[in-house]
Amino acid sequence: MQIQLTDQKQEFNKRPTKTGRRSLSHSISQSSTDSYSSVGSVSSEDESSPRDKAQTTSKGFSDFCIKNIKQADFGRREIEIAQQEMPALMVLRKRAAGEKPLAGAKVLGCTHITAQTAVLIETLIVLGAQCRWAACNIFSTQNAVAAALAERGASDCVNLTHPFILDDGGDLTHWIYKKHPSLFKSLKGIVEESVTGIYRLYQLSKAGKLCVPAMNVNDSVTKQKFDNLYCCKESILDGLKRTTDTMFGGKQVAVCGYGEVGKGCCAALKALGAIVYVTEVDPICALQACMDGFRVIKLSEVVRQVDVVIACTGNKNVVVREHLDRMKNGCIVCNMGHSSTEIDLASLRTTELRWERVRPQVDHVIWPDGKRIVLLAEGRLLNLSCSTVPSLVLSITATTQAMALIELYSAPEGRYKQDVYLLPKKMDEFVASLHLLTLDAHVTELTDEQAKYLGISKHGPFKPNYYRCVLCLTHTTTHIHDVFFICIVINIVINCPHRY
């Protein structure tokens, strides 16, 4: 799946020609083509590039570029399984039977292509949006799911003719801002759910260069607590055990960052009996780690003795060559933060070091003296590349993103100015309420007297909009006139490390 920029006069649904393609980055342009063996994908003996072969769906649709359309049936079954654990999006579909809140909206998406993402994409279509999609990660792409989307008519080769993007990590928004400023100025809004993406948006806003309203989804309580904390608490162990077959009882682990992702990782590893160290730059997060029973140190102090190093800060160059040189033989190195920038991979791609592929998503990087470290997913997100993410968690995140998109698209002109906004607390609570029935939970209702005493409505919102269980930074949704650029991470997603 490749994002391309073509003449803005070109129709939204017209697939760009080969000569008009421009790659945003290796991870975006190569994602569907070069995926080694994504979770849920079926390997194909045909290793030729999808760009070099013509494919059509059962209905003659050919406006897509995927690995193998014949995998569509398998991908459809994966999507149907995911739907069972994504109740809120199913509710939104039912409510859209009479009203299409996104009618006329054009959504360009660049996210992880998984069964859960497919449920979001198809929900946006049911809500009235026109969608085109591309993958943002070469290891998380589920090729069978991409085939299923194409079979249903969801084009997967993005053409940047219009102004709305659903992005993962803010990279696409940043790229448009840098490379195509006139297009950036025509956007109607941005919905961002990653730490890195929000950092960039706040930087633009502070410099007076943010020319569109942006919705900060990552700082919503539902996203922070469920996507970042509870999701990573489960998926970190899944990814590590699938790739390394390691027993963690008694192992020494350094977790870089004690934001919500770091908290989840530390809790899971501690429960297995691992000895966990934490590195932090934020004194509040560091104090939280101390109160939770973890020793806060600098990575350089323990790097020689630890068995595992996990980066989850959302920053860059957290684990550098100096650390890697001092690690002991067999040390496992992986990333649960935003992107591969956390580990200094460039310093490992030198002539004196040898890379050896051991199994899918697992490389040994071998030093001249024979020492080797175990690098997982080439430094990309571990849980999205080497395991799966719980569908229920992604249901919460995806519903939050859909609600933010609806809010920006339907808001009267002037409600949102050129700044970064938090998702309205009422919507945050609404997303949570849609998932309670699945867990057989029954919420107590305030009496009129209690509501009056607290000075709030008995139906919510129950907290002020500035209230956060946590503080963090986000991904991106964008509309341009009748089109959206949604920068999400669904993950992912899904894996924005930060803050308290």
- Which residue ranges are tagged as binding site for substrate? 114, 168, 193, 223, 227
Contact in structure between 224 and 193 (CB atoms under 8 Å)? no
Rounded to whole angstroms, the Cα distance separating 43 from 195 reads 33
**Residue linked to tokens 């939280």:** 288
Q: What is the CA radius of gyration of the chain?
A: 22
Contact in structure between 229 and 260 (CB atoms under 8 Å)? yes
Give the residues across from 476 on adjacent strands. Answer: 167
Q: Which residues are annotated as a binding site for NAD(+)?
A: 259-264, 280, 383
Rounded to whole angstroms, the Cα distance separating 239 from 334 reads 10
Measure CA of the first residue to CA of the last residue in the chain; give whole Å: 36
Q: What is the number of H-type helices and E-type strands within the chain? A: 19, 16
Q: Which residues are annotated as a binding site?
A: 114, 168, 193, 223, 227, 259-264, 280, 383
Q: At what angle do helices 425-434 and 391-410 cross, to 10 degrees?
A: 140
Six token digits for residue 78: 């994966």
Buried b (16+ CB within 10 A) or exposed e, 360-398: bbbbebbeeeeebbbbbbbbbbbbbbbbbbbbbbbbbbb
Q: At what angle do helices 391-410 and 72-83 cross, to 10 degrees?
A: 90
Residue 305 CB burial class (10 angstroms; 0-12, 13-18, ≥19): middle
Helix ranges (DSSP H) in 225-306: 231-244, 260-271, 283-291, 299-302
Six token digits for residue 356: 């050896």
